């Protein structure tokens, strides 16, 4: 979802910051667009790229042709169409490639080979307008060698070149890279904004399902769409059924659930996000004495957190977060990872 042809809901401040810099004539050569996964960071980066390559929405490529009020570019504009198709001579998108021919699994990181030519590309005279633009999505997934290659570009930035670094975990990026970028920090969306975006991208969803997905997505339209595509509501309800059996899990049911969760990368990521999101929400709600909206789920959270103890519960959340991150970075067995997470929670509750 790159936001072609439509406004970006919920991030007016970030757009305004870029527009002000553009209109001032002092545009930073590199921008770090940071925030949680799936809230629209890549969409904003693509909107910026289309805007800049279209000369700020006008016919020219300079900075001083007026003060535009929006990044919107008509989706039928030739620049917009070529950027989205990957056919614009002055635009390059760098992201994790596929690790197999069927394109079912992406590589764990962006290798140096993918970014080695960025400096020379940005140094070329623009072929179609006044600027060259590169998006790296996500910069926190670059290998160490790739990050060092980007750092060299930032140390001697070419003129009329714009580097947009999308980052889900900005803390994982080299401090020397962060210090050379103008930062745009984007915040999670409100539930109502997620519901509105679901209505745009998935008009087939019943209103009740859209509201439920928004509640699970923690302000991330990307996560809400992933949940919808992966049958996330059914997965979530099945996960709650397993939690309800604690402190003694149904072994057969847990194995069946883990089989479903491990079937592909998207399903695994959806499962782990739901699992850790629920653990974190439970700690927050119980820790602050959340009783203003008593419901069955809060009662379950309170029972389990109190059985484990809040400190031990938080410890399990930290361990499973680390486990899930390692599973993606070093290709651990997905089913075993899911099983280990459930068994860790079981041990905590029995303790």
Nearest C-alpha neighbor of 316 from the set 342, 286, 290: 342
Give the integer Cα–Cα distance in Å for 94 and 213: 30
Give the integer Cα–Cα distance in Å for 313 and 309: 6
- pLDDT at position 105, please? 73
- pLDDT at position 66, please? 58
Pure H helices in 156-206: 175-178, 191-201
DSSP states of 238-299 as a string? HHHHHHHTTTS--HHHHHHHHHHHTSSHHHHHHHHHHHHHHHHHHHHHHHTT--SS--HHHH
- pLDDT at position 101, please? 79
**Contacts of residue 348, Cβ cutoff 8 Å, sequence gap at least 6:** 308, 312, 313, 315, 316
Tell me which CATH code domain 12-185 carries: 3.40.50.300
| CB 202, CB 228: distance < 8 Å | yes
Query: From first to last of its 351 residues, what are the pLDDT tens digits of the chain?
Result: 444 444 688 899 999 999 999 999 889 999 999 999 889 999 999 999 999 999 986 544 444 455 788 999 999 999 999 999 999 999 999 999 888 777 777 788 999 999 999 999 999 999 998 999 999 999 999 999 999 999 999 999 999 999 999 999 899 999 999 999 999 999 999 999 999 999 999 999 999 999 999 988 889 999 899 899 888 999 999 999 999 999 999 999 999 999 999 988 888 988 998 999 899 989 988 887 765 555 788 899 999 999 999 999 999 999 999 999 888 767 789 999 999 999 999 999 997
- pLDDT at position 42, please? 95
Q: How crowded is residue 290: how many other Cβ atoms within 10 Å of its Cβ?
A: 15
Give the integer Cα–Cα distance in Å for 318 and 313: 9
- pLDDT at position 7, please? 61
Q: How crowded is residue 29: how many other Cβ atoms within 10 Å of its Cβ?
A: 17
| CB 145, CB 175: distance < 8 Å | no
**Contacts of residue 227, Cβ cutoff 8 Å, sequence gap at least 6:** 213, 216, 217, 233, 235, 236, 270, 274
What is the rounded (10 degree) CA torsion for 146, 52, 3, 101? -40
- pLDDT at position 68, please? 84
């Amino acid at each position: 979802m790159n936001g072609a042809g439509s406004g970006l809901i919920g991030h007016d401040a970030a757009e305004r910051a870029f527009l002000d810099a553009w209109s001032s004539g002092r545009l930073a050569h590199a921008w770090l667009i940071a925030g949680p996964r799936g809230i629209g960071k890549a969409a904003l980066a693509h909107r910026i790229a289309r805007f800049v390559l279209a000369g700020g929405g006008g016919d020219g490529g300079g900075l001083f042709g007026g003060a535009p009020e929006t990044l919107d570019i008509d989706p039928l504009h030739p620049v917009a169409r070529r950027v989205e198709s990957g056919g614009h001579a002055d635009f390059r998108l760098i992201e994790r490639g596929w690790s197999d021919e069927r394109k079912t699994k992406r590589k764990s990181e962006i290798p140096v080979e993918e970014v080695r030519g960025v400096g020379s590309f940005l140094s070329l005279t623009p072929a179609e307008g006044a600027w060259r633009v590169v998006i790296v999505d996500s910069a926190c997934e670059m290998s160490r060698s790739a990050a060092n290659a980007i750092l060299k570009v930032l140390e001697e930035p070419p003129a009329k070149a714009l580097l947009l670094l999308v980052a889900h975990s900005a803390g994982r990026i080299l401090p020397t890279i962060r210090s050379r970028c103008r930062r745009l920090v984007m915040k999670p969306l409100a539930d109502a904004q997620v519901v509105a975006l679901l209505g745009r991208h998935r008009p087939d969803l019943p209103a009740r399902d859209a509201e439920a997905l928004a509640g699970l997505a923690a302000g991330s339209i990307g996560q809400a769409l992933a949940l919808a595509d992966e049958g996330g509501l059914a997965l979530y309800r099945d996960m709650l059924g397993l939690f309800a059996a604690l402190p003694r899990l149904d072994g057969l049911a847990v194995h069946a659930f883990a089989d479903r969760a491990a079937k592909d990368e998207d399903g695994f990521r959806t499962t782990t996000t739901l699992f850790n999101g629920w653990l974190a929400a439970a700690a927050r709600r119980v820790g602050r004495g959340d009783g203003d909206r008593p419901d069955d789920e809060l009662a379950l959270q309170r029972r389990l957190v109190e059985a484990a103890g809040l400190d031990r519960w938080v410890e399990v959340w930290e361990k499973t977060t680390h486990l899930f991150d390692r599973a993606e970075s070093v290709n651990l067995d997905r089913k075993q990872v899911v099983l280990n997470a459930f068994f860790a929670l079981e041990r905590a509750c029995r303790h």
